[in-house]
Amino acid sequence: MLFDFSGTLFRIESAESWLRAALEETGTALPEEELARHARDLEEAGALPGGAPPVAVPPELAEAWSARDRTAESHRAAFTGLARHVPLPHPELYDALYARHRQPAAWRPYPDAAEVLGELRRRGIRIAVVSNIGWDLRPVFRAHGLDPLVDAYVLSYEHGTQKPDPRLFRAACDALSLAPHEALMVGDDRRADGGAATVGCRVHLVDHLPVDRRPDALRAVLELFPDRTTPP
């Protein structure tokens, strides 16, 4: 099993929660109305990694945006660049926002993530996380107790390429000692995660919804891998 990270196993916090944490980190106080307005503007700008995409990418950020998950530097440049298009009261907030989204507390696993990963592990199915990302997400899995259920991480910035590049999916299959036709890719992005089909993997898509609106979508994958560990 190959799983995407953001929007599949985990969901980033809301833009308002994200901004509120950065304000607390920098000791900045804002009236609630102003905080809510800045959060809406940041969300519209697409500045929250794992959140909504930009309504429009500024021309000067087009190159960084298209390659945002290939390197750590591109990822930071793209998202802090988008954030800087929203005027905030203190310049240190932009770095604080980027730092916040990398903290485990900014992410919540979907309600059925632990159950599904645990059941797959019980059935002897190997698991890899294949993510377009510009930083190491392993601490997020460790903090939420899911790291013991993952056999391998294939992260775009560590490979210098991003989904739907077939090299990432091949690397994940190799890490699990599987042929691509033996693997199922579970993700939320038809283009990026659907790229696994080009190397022969099956693909199963879930909706990228808030955690409280998607309680059990991952359980469907258990039906695709019958339990052969229980005697008839």
Backbone φ, ψ for residue 2 (5° rounding) = -115, 130
Give the residue from 157, 148, 150 showing the smallest Cα distance to 176. Answer: 150
pLDDT digits (tens, 9 = 90+) for 48-81: 999 999 999 999 999 999 999 999 999 999 999 9
pLDDT at 34 over 80: yes
Residue 29, token pair as written in the block: 């106080």
Answer whether 143's CB lies under 8 Å from 165's CB. no
Once rounded to an integer, what is the mean pLDDT over residues 85-114? 98
Question: Could you identify the residue written with the tokens 């900014």?
Answer: 106
168 phi and psi, to 5 degrees? -65, -40
Nearest-angstrom CA–CA distance, 79 and 211: 23
Residue 229 has pLDDT above 70, yes or no: no
pTM equals 0.95
Catalogue all structural domains in the chain, each as residue range(s) with its CATH number. 2-10+107-224 (3.40.50.1000), 12-106 (no CATH)
Per-residue pLDDT tens over the stretch 134-161: 999 999 999 999 999 999 999 999 999 9
Indicate the burial class of 60 (C-beta count within 10 angstroms; 0-12, 13-18, 19 or more): exposed
